[in-house]
Structures are given as structure tokens and as C-alpha cells.
Structure 1
Amino acid sequence: MKRICIFACIAIAGLTACNKFLDTKPTDFYTPDNYYQNEVQLQQALNGVYSDLMRPELYAQVMGFNFVSTTDEVMANRTADGDARGLRYNYDASLVHVANIWKYAYVGINNINVLLQNIDKPVMDQGKRNILKGQALFLRGFFYFILTSNYGDVPLVLRPLAINEVNMAAAKQADVYAQVEKDMKDAEALLKDYTVVQAKFNDVVTLTAVQAMLARVYIYWAGYPQNNTAKYQDVITYTDKVINSGLHALNPDYRQIFINLAKDLYDVKENIWELGSLGAAAGVVNKSGNDIGNFVGIQSALTAADSTSYNAAAWVWVTKKLFDAYEVDPNSTATPNKASLDIRRDWNCANYIYNGTNPRVKAARPNIWQMCAGKFRREYVPQSIRNTNGAAGTYNINWPMIRYSDVLLMRAEAENYVNGPANAYTYINQVRKRGYGLLNGNVVKSVSIVNAGSGYTVPPVVTITGGGGNGATATAILTSGKVTGIYLTSPGALTPGAYYSSAPVVVVGTFWTPGVSYTAGMQVTNGANLYTVTTAGTSTNTAPTHTSGASSAAVTGAVFTYAGAAATATATITTGTESDLTPGLSKEAFQLAIRDERMRELCFEALRKADLIRWGHFVADMQEFAAWATSNGAGVTATGNPNGLQGIRNVSQRHVLLPKPTYELNLNRLLVQNEGW
């Protein structure tokens, strides 16, 4: 912060001397004196602040990866290079990434302070000025929220600094929170009529973005280390403002939230505020790329010969604790992992990677400790972006800063703390219903084998039809020529009219109707495939011979394989209540349920570590998890994640906060290093 401010002041001082000597003003570049002259220049300055947030040193890479990638939901799989990134709690105050969060947060604050100092200069519509000022105040508060939640006590700088203002003592964290609250409440008043309806995008700050983030500020303030539990009532107040606005709702399909982010499709109901990036829709405030979906993503290599490929390093793997947190279908016979009733599991815990180069191959990754974090999937990014800019890392996925489901879960947590769990169920069950795919109706719950059949050489195709719905898909699991399990890959399409009213029909391996006579030349469809019968016959245990038909809907090279004895299976659908949290929980048990639900819903969104810290037992929780992970296979080299486990074992009390950067301590002699560093 100080170096940048000093250089800026030196430059301005030099310009002032030049002005006096020549008795003129510079015309070939901007200074605070000749800038901020109109609304356009104010907007450009504000856009620059949004860009500060989406730098690689902040949310384009570091804030979603470096210091939050080793918890009980995800662990880094790196060794020495992981230490250089700060992934395994082997960092100190000199690490560049520790310094950059501090440095660029203060860069943003300085830019905002200059903007606020000049915001009244232009003659312009006061309503538009209020919108710009409200966003600027909120962003200053948000930068200080970043700083205090990472470093604790930090200097409060609320105006542009003079060249001699080098030494500045840190304000106590409680005072920093108070300033965050003031800035955000002032912003709320200024943005009272500026909603997503007016903005049309959610990558700028609107009224409900302010209110949702204030709720997060309050829930952190209520927890460790401030433990100001009176703030839980403020969480209720501000989450209610968002909920009662009627502007936000859960996307019925959890997966679609992140597909939309990859495809540059705005979902202003679910994503209350997101940070814009390369390729986003018109009006986005930032055009740089990012590493979202790279280090925390599904492994893949970008290859020139494969137009579907993309680049992702996958430097983290999920934990078995996260995978096991999702409820499984007790009747599932799928191996090695039972099918889950919760559609979030198989989206967040990706059971595949992309291998090979020309072309790449989708390879199974059934080992839980080595599954990739699947939430941000670059395979959905527009092909032009992933092929042109993949090697440079300039991908386009926006960062979801705060989502509506987080608001509902904060509301449930605060309600439970203040009033107990009775009314808190309303909020958590909404999130759970969406997680199970039940927000608007019933879906396929499970597919069970009735007869394993025999004689299969490759897993047969499974088709699910009827029942009033569509979109359910499954794959067969083959053992010694028999179908020993059916793995439900999708419970159905989660759109109006696509939900199930009765159990659909499941056909394993064949679409031929038993006992029906087929004549040569007859065409038979099976989903998108069209087949032509070449030899007449009656379907029993042997299908008539056939070839793939020549149709635009046909899949080229489709092959139908029939067994010596057909396997059969049946499906069951949900009744709409499977997702509901166990009723009658105590206050303490409900709080534990909230902790697990936040992990299931918000994993990899850079919130878990902060949640564990505010709940007050971060170090003990990590020690307990390390012991559990050790006894559950995390340390096994071939099938576990020993590098990530070592990172967990490195956690100590000093890691509750980042150290204050060495370079800043050398410049600012009034700063005091955090305890343990």
C-alpha cells in the first residue's frame, strides 16, 4: 500500500512543480485535477475498482485457491510447489501471495478514496451519482472485510494519504467491522432503488447484494474471534430483507448455476452478486480472464487436435468427508460407490478426469480421495475461449461472490441461535430440496436390479422412459457378465413439466419388446438412435440382427449389444420429503446440521475455512479431521492424498489469521505482527 501511494504522490508532486514553472496544465495524461469531470469518468474509475477485485492476486486466483484449499472438504495434492502457493500451511510472512492480498486490497481502497473525494465534482443527475457513490462505499467496506477476516487488526485508511503518512497503527478488528458496517449501510441507503431489475446484471453491486453481504459480515462478527453474538439478530434482519424482496430464488437445478457461470449466462435470482470476467455479457465491468476451474477443477489438457478440450491443472482433490456427507440410496447396488440421493455430490465430486492428448479420453476416477473438485467445469466454457486462451489461463467463468442459498443457510443458522430450530427448518429445507432435485416436483430416486441377466461383454445401455417426466439417466455396472448395479447419473430434468408423477419404465440393454415379431427393414428407435432390422425374427433372449440407421438423429457407429439373458430393473421415485432434515433436533444438533449443509452446498466457494474459524474450533476441527482422514485411507499413496493430509497436519493456532506481510512491516513501523508469526 505505502509504496504505491508514495510513487503516486511523487508523480503528482513532480507535476505540480512542472505546472508552476511552465504556468500550464498537463494535457497528455490524467491527474485527479483534470479527471472525474463527468459521469463517464466516474463510471470508468468505479469499473477500475471492480477490476481490482478480479485480479489474479485476489478473486481471479488467490482468494479462491491459495489459503482455502486445505480443509475438511478439499485438500491440495501438491508437494513443494504447493508450499510455494501457501496450500499446505507451510508459508510465512514473506510469501508473495500473503503480501498480495494485503497490497491489492489497499490498492482498491486507495482508488475508492480518490473516487469518493472527487465524486461531487461533475454536474450530473444526483440519482446516478448516488448509485456510483453507493457502489464505491460498499466496495470499500468489502475490501476492509477481506482484510480484517484475513489479517485481523488492520489500518483504517478513509482518505487519500499524503506522502509523509507512512506509519499508521492498525485499528482493532471490532473497529474495522464497525467501519465495514457503516460503509455498507451508507451504501444501502444510496442504492435503495437500485436493484437487479434496474441493473440487469449481477456483476455490479445492487441493493440486495449489499444486504446479503451485510448478513455475511454480521455472521462473521458474531463468531470467533469477536464473538459478538448480538449480531445474529442483525443476520436475521438482513437476510429477511433479501428474502422478502422477492428478487431472488433458488435455481431448481443446482448444476445449472455453475453451467450458467461457465457459459456467460446471468442468473440474477440465484447469484446475488458475482464478479465479472472475460467474455461475459454486454455491460460487464471487467474483461480480464481468471483461473476459476483451473486449480480447483477437473483435470484436462488443452490439445490442438481436440476441439472439445480445455486446460485445467486440478491441484486439489475432494475429501472423503465431503463425499460421505451426501446421503446415498440405501438400496443402491452400484459399486464401488453407491448412488446418491443428493444431486450435488456427483457434480461437486467429479468421478472422472480427461486423459490423453489426441483426442483426449474421459477416464473414470472412482477413488474418492483422488476425485477432482467438479463445481466449476471448464468443459462448459464456450469453445472459442477455451481453445484460444486456454494455455494463458484467460477463461471466462464469473466468481459467485454470494448466492441466495447462502442467504437461506445464514438465516437458518441465525434463527437457530436466537430462537432455536423450530422455524429454522423452513430455510435449510429449501436448500436441501433443491439439492435433492425436489424443488418443484418428484424425481427418480433409485434404480434397482431385479434380474442380473448374463452374457454381457460390455455394459448395456440403460433407458428410462414414461412416468410423466423425462431426463433421468443411468449406467449399468457389469461384473462377470452380469449387471450387478445401476448407477443413477441424473434423477431427471429439473424444469417445469419434466418431473415424475409415477415410476418410469427401465429397460436394460435392449429396446426390443419381448415376444414381438420384427420384419426386415423395420425401423426401431431407442432414444436418439435409429436402428434398421436386417433379419426378421421374434424377440426372446436373442434380438434380431440390425444395423444403425441412416438418420440425422442417429448416433454414428452406435452398437447394440444383447445378452444371453436379459437384465431387468425397476425405478422408484421420490415422495417429496426425502430431502427434509430430521425433525425435532436440538439447538446443538441443528447447528451441526447447518455446518454439514454449508459444506455440501457451498464447497469450493472459498467459505469453508472462514466458517470453521468463526465457529471457534478451527485448529481442533482440523486435528480431528486429520486423525479421521488417516484412519480412512487419506495417507495411502496409491489411493489417498498424503500431500493434502500433511497440509492438514501442519495446521496450528497461528493459521487462524494470515501474517501481516513482511514488506508492510518494514514500511509501517507502527504495525504489530499477528500472534505466532
Structure 2
Amino acid sequence: MKRIWILAIALAGFSSCNKFLDTKPTDFYGNTNYYETEAQLQQSLNAIYSNLIRSELYGQVMGFNFTTTTDEVMSNRTADGDTRGLRYNYDASQVYVAGIWRYCYVGIRNINSLLENINKPEMDSTRRNIIKGQAIFLRGYYYFLLTHNYGDVPLVLRTLAINEVNIPAAPQKQVYEQIEKDMKEAEVLLKDYTSAKLGYNDVVTLTAVQSVLARVYLYWAGYPQHDASKYKDVITYCDKVINSSLHALNPDYRQVFTNLSRDQYDIKESIWELGSQGAAPGVPNKSGNDIGNFVGIQSAIVATDTSSYSSAAWVWVTRKLFDAYQVDPASTATPNKSSLDIRRDWNCANYIYSGNPRVKAARTSPWMMCAGKFRRELAPQSVRNINGVGGTYNINWPVIRYSDVLLMRAEAENHENGPGAAYPYINEVRKRAYGLMNGNVVKSFTITNQGSGYTTAPAIVISGGGGNGATATSVITSNRVTGIYLSSPGALTAGSYYSAAPTVVIGTFWTPGVTYAANTQVTNGGRLYTVTTAGTSTNTPPTHTTGASSAALTGAVFTYAGVAATATATITSGNEYELTAGLDQAGFQLAIRDERMRELCFEAVRKADLIRWGNFVNDMAEFAAYATGNGASVTATGNVNGLAGVRAVSARHVLLPKPTYELNLNKDLVQNPGW
């Protein structure tokens, strides 16, 4: 359920400068007649939260415009069709470049005003500290967004007069020091404020402060500051979160994002979310966002189809991401082998919806697969298709998850002490990724008889073995079953894991009393039959090996088609997830890079990761060469437009340009290099 962020009444007149009027305003709120009550403080704080989820920030831009052309996902837009900067074709005048800057400072301005008036109303001191702690953390967070996007930025810690416009940028190190100061003060003020007590996570709590501060230190340790002393702080703050016992991984990676789509809180896994307005049952929809739209699975609203939803899918995943997930080497599924890692088929969606009526169409080329993490098709019908019109799609944005804390802890440990003690943290993430947190799952299939005579791919039914929820599809070649694609290894909740290999049934067994349509294929006694005359089956199954059955005996007429295919299943042994043992420090760091991509793709951290690792431009050049040599440049099955965007990366793209409008106002501001 989403908490509603009620937009506070616009706070105007923050400056006391008024040379022409000598009367106090009576038709709007200013500092002299606002912040009088706890409710007004809370309204102001709510507006600061709401500012973060607006389209100029996390409602669209932060997870899309400048973060989605990397080695994990690329734009599929042509240069003429891209006005959003996806292909590194933006400049300092672009509206989305300006929006991040503008609305971060709007948030900071409102926070400064709130903090200056925090002691104004009479209220409980604990409640005052909670509001103050959230506000001062959010000021640090806004500055974190600013500095890792723009570098050196003006550091404004008070309400400015209307004529204070020329403010030089503070060096990034000084900005980081202020972020640290604000967040550490917030940690003290929020010492007993936890999501476990609240039951929701779309406000800043103690562990949200600690986990985000760990991320701040990780960025501070990397390029361009290279302050390696901060790795120890990463360890300290990750350990605070881990040792709190307030957080844990959800056993099913897919469920984390299903919960986000369905408006369900997961306070163990998701440490801090940005809440959208509305969507919860009984709560009026106020506004939505673009989460799951441009970075989502393609579909259009069809008025007569209440299951339809709207998603433009303006980015596609990369083969590098797809191939980063381990496959079952024994899999004979084509064209893509089954993966042992359940994250692959969730994140790299191998289908789209198209047409009217809407149909599900397969995507087999990884370069053309949609980013499947945020799935609007799982959202409540009332917010995705309202009388044939797109809804508000109120999916929360996961700012930081527990898996990120574990991976940060592993990276910092490796840097400080080598990989020895870092393995448990990355392996905990990998164990969940393979579905093995609480037991074993279906791993792979062996086809013991390919059969013959199949005209369509038969269904796969998996049963027994003590578990449930495993699903698979078959692949046929030349009328034989040549592969089985594992689409789900099983349900990953208590009591659903497999203690033994389940039974695999290929196709549909002949069943008495069932009405079969013409051309249906069924099996009986190891033989495959095709229904040539529709009808209801009798108690006498077909047993012949040539020709057609008698309608008098079998009801529907069955014609012998061939031999029924058979297969067996294998379950995991419990250790497939473990990272290769014995890596040196450099090798473990490379493993961390890949694991962060596999786990956190499309969550707006990959570009920032590549930058802090210090080789962004060369990394992207190497990826462009890889993409060219691995099919991205093929028009029919690649992503030519995205490849052109990757090739456009240069040194200036390490930072966004400072907005033109701001440079025109603030004469003390200096443009970033290359712009």
C-alpha cells in the first residue's frame, strides 16, 4: 500500500525583501504564517518527498534519460526520434539536463526553510526529531544526486534572498563532507525510527540513512575523488544495516518487483522506496509515473482488453547482460539455453505484446529483448487500463535494496582485505538468484526420447518431487522434441522446494470424457495421436500404431502420429550458485562488476558504477567493439540505434553539463569540461 504524499501548499515569499509593499500577505503562506503546527511541518516534508518522484527526477528522468545507454541496456530510438538524451546527444540547454538541477535545488530550498523553522511549533520532541532527521537526510541526498551528476555544485545551506544569485560551486570533496555531516546527524535523530515499526518503507528510516551513506562512501572512494579511506566507512555502515537484523533478501528475486507493481511493501528487502501517490485500495489516484514505461515490456492499451497496459519500451537489453547469467550447459533449448539464474528471464523479457487484439510475441534476440524488471502488466487493473485509457501506474522506485548493501560490503571488503572474507556477501546474493535460499529447485532436463510426429510444441507438466511451481516449455525441430526450456525452477516459498527429482510429462495424456478439438495432439501408451475428428473421448483409449481409431470406441477420432517424447528432470545440489573460489583481488573485483549488473540492472546505478570505477569512456568503447562483433549492428536482430548511442560516448559524458539557464543566472558558475 502506498502512503499518499500530499502536496503541501506552495510556499512562497521565502525572502523578506519587499520594497514596495508594507503590508503582510494574506492570500498565501510565507514563513511568517506557516510552520505553525506539526501538521504544517509534515505537509512541508511530504512535499519534499513528492518532489523526488516527479518526472524530472525519479518519476522518469533518473531511471531513464541519462542512465539507460550503458553495457546493460541501450536505447532503441533513432536520433530523430530521441529528444531525451538517450544516445548521448544532449547539451547544456536540454530540458531534462536542467530538470535534475532545478528540482534538486527546489527540494533543497524547501528543506532549508523547513529546518530554519523546525522549532517554531509546540510539539512532541520525538516527533520533531523524526521530521528534522528525514529533512536533513534528504538535503544530503539531493546534494548526492547533484554532485555525482554535475560534479562541483553550489552548496546552499540556508534560505537565500531573492537577489542572491551568484554563488560559486563548492568543490566536490566539500559537497561530500556536507552530505556526510547531514546524513550522520540524521542517523542520530532517527535512531529508533525503523520500517519494521512503521510497516512501510517509503519514508527515510534509520537503515535507509545507513545504507545510502554506505553508497555515498563507495562513490567517494572512487573516481574522481579516489579517497580509498572511505572503503572502511562502507564496511562500517553496511555492517550497521546487516547487523540490525531488520533486513533480508526475499527468497524470490522476481517477487521483489512483483510487489512493487502490485503496491505491496517488502520492508525486509527494499530498504527505501520513493512512494507514488494513490494506487492502494480505497485511495484516490493523484498522479503516476513512468516507471515500467520507457524501461519496460512493450504493450499498448486495447480498449476491449482489460489485461492490457501501456509501455513504450524505448530501451532494449544488451547481449552482454543476457550472457552474463549462467546457463545450464546441458540445456538443448534453442535458440537460447535455459539459465540457472532466475534473474535473467525476469530482467531480459523475451516477449512483447502487440496488435489488436493483443497477442504475446516472442523475442529471441537478446539485443531486442525488453527490460523486464518493472512490469506494468502486474499493476492493479484500475491503474493500468481505465476504460481503455492508460492509468497512473503508481509503482514505487526502489532507491536502495538489501542486495545492494551486501554487494557494497563485498566490494569494500575485497578492497580492504582481499576476497577471502568477501565471498559470503556476494554468495548470499547469488544463492537467492539461483532460487536456493531455502532448498533445491529444478535445474535441468534430459530428453530420453525425442519422439516423432509433433506438429506443435507440446506442453510440459512437472509434478511430484516434494515441490511445486516449476514450469517449462518445449522446443520442436523436424517434428521431434529437441529441447525443454526451463521458465521457472519452482515456487520459492517455504514448503515448495524439491527434495527429489520431479516427474516430467511431455504433452497431454488421453483422458476419458474430454472434448477434443480437431488437430489436438495427445499421448497414450508411449504413442502420439492427432485428433482428426473432434468429439468427446470415451473410456477406451486409442492403442493402434497405424491409421485412425474407431469413433465408436474412442469418441473423437484419433490418428496415430508417432512416438511420444520422454524426459527426466534434475534438481540442484545446493552449491551451483557459489562464485568461483580462489579469485585474486582483481578477479574478485571483476566478479563484483558483473554481479552488480546482473542484480541491479535498470535501477539507475550502472552508469554511476562505471564512472566511479574510473574507466567509463574506455569501458564504453570496449563495449561498443563487443556489441559490433556480437550482433548489435545487424538490422534485423540487433540494436543499431543503441549502438550508435554507445559510440557517441566521450570524456565529457562523465558529468552532465551545468544547465544553460543556470549559467545565465549565476555568473560565478563554471561549466563542466567539454561542454
Query: One fold, TM greater than 0.5?
Result: yes
CA distance in 2, matches of 1:343, 1:470: 16
Q: Deviations over 1:405-464 (max 9, x none)?
A: 000000000000001101100100010011110111100001121111011111111100
Asked if the contact 2:304/2:388 (under 8 Å) is kept, the reply is no
User: Offset at 1:391?
Assistant: 5.0
CA distance in 2, matches of 1:541, 1:522: 22
CA distance in 2, matches of 1:487, 1:625: 29
- Report the secondary structure of 2:487's partner residue: strand
Change (3 A) 1:537 1:197: closer
Structure 1 residue runs of 5 or longer lacking an equivalent are 1-6, 513-517, 547-558
Change (3 A) 1:264 1:138: same
Task: Give the letter aligned to residue 537 of structure 1.
Answer: P
1:338 corresponds in structure 2 to 337
Change (3 A) 1:190 1:482: same
Change (3 A) 1:222 1:304: same
CA distance in 2, matches of 1:55, 1:376: 18
Asked if the contact 1:533/1:544 (under 8 Å) is kept, the reply is no
Change (3 A) 1:148 1:564: same
CA distance in 1, matches of 2:477, 2:596: 37
Asked if the contact 1:447/1:486 (under 8 Å) is kept, the reply is yes
Q: Deviations over 1:542-578 (max 9, x none)?
A: 99999xxxxxxxxxxxx99985210001100001100
1:452 corresponds in structure 2 to 450
User: Offset at 1:167?
Assistant: 0.3
Asked if the contact 1:280/1:396 (under 8 Å) is kept, the reply is yes
- Report the secondary structure of 1:85's partner residue: coil
2:132 corresponds in structure 1 to 133
Task: Give the letter aligned to residue 445 of structure 1.
Answer: K
CA distance in 2, matches of 1:560, 1:382: 44
Number of residue equivalences:
643
User: Offset at 1:521?
Assistant: 8.6
1:511 and 2:506 are equivalent in the alignment: no
User: Offset at 1:13?
Assistant: 4.5
1:554 corresponds in structure 2 to none
Asked if the contact 2:15/2:162 (under 8 Å) is kept, the reply is no
CA distance in 2, matches of 1:157, 1:604: 31
Change (3 A) 1:203 1:280: farther
Asked if the contact 2:202/2:273 (under 8 Å) is kept, the reply is yes
CA distance in 1, matches of 2:353, 2:458: 23
Asked if the contact 1:9/1:162 (under 8 Å) is kept, the reply is no
Alignment of 1:227-626 (within 5 A): 227-281=226-280, 287-357=286-356, 359-388=357-386, 391=389, 394-511=392-509, 533-537=537-541, 563-626=561-624
User: Offset at 1:201?
Assistant: 0.9
1:186 corresponds in structure 2 to 185
User: Offset at 1:288?
Assistant: 2.5
CA distance in 2, matches of 1:285, 1:411: 41
Q: Deviations over 1:120-179 (max 9, x none)?
A: 000000000000000000000000000000000000000000122110000000000000
CA distance in 2, matches of 1:539, 1:236: 68
1:90 corresponds in structure 2 to 89
**Aligned CA-pair RMSD:** 2.5
Q: Deviations over 1:80-116 (max 9, x none)?
A: 3554101011111011100110000000000101111
2:122 corresponds in structure 1 to 123
1:79 corresponds in structure 2 to 78
- Report the secondary structure of 1:78's partner residue: coil
Asked if the contact 1:409/1:594 (under 8 Å) is kept, the reply is yes
User: Offset at 1:194?
Assistant: 0.3
Asked if the contact 2:303/2:388 (under 8 Å) is kept, the reply is no
Asked if the contact 2:73/2:602 (under 8 Å) is kept, the reply is yes
- Report the secondary structure of 2:499's partner residue: coil
Asked if the contact 1:83/1:89 (under 8 Å) is kept, the reply is no
Task: Give the letter aligned to residue 130 of structure 2.
Answer: I
1:64 corresponds in structure 2 to 63
Task: Give the letter aligned to residue 346 of structure 1.
Answer: D
2:143 corresponds in structure 1 to 144
User: Offset at 1:29?
Assistant: 2.6
Change (3 A) 1:328 1:444: same
CA distance in 2, matches of 1:121, 1:285: 32
Asked if the contact 2:278/2:285 (under 8 Å) is kept, the reply is no
CA distance in 2, matches of 1:521, 1:432: 45
Asked if the contact 1:276/1:284 (under 8 Å) is kept, the reply is no
Asked if the contact 2:153/2:171 (under 8 Å) is kept, the reply is yes
Deviates more, 1:271-280 or 1:298-307: 271-280
Asked if the contact 1:221/1:227 (under 8 Å) is kept, the reply is yes
Normalised by the length of structure 2, the TM-score is 0.91
CA distance in 1, matches of 2:563, 2:16: 85
Structure 2 residue runs of 5 or longer lacking an equivalent are 1-10, 517-521, 524-534, 552-556
Asked if the contact 1:296/1:314 (under 8 Å) is kept, the reply is yes
- Report the secondary structure of 1:648's partner residue: helix
2:529 corresponds in structure 1 to none
CA distance in 1, matches of 2:394, 2:346: 20
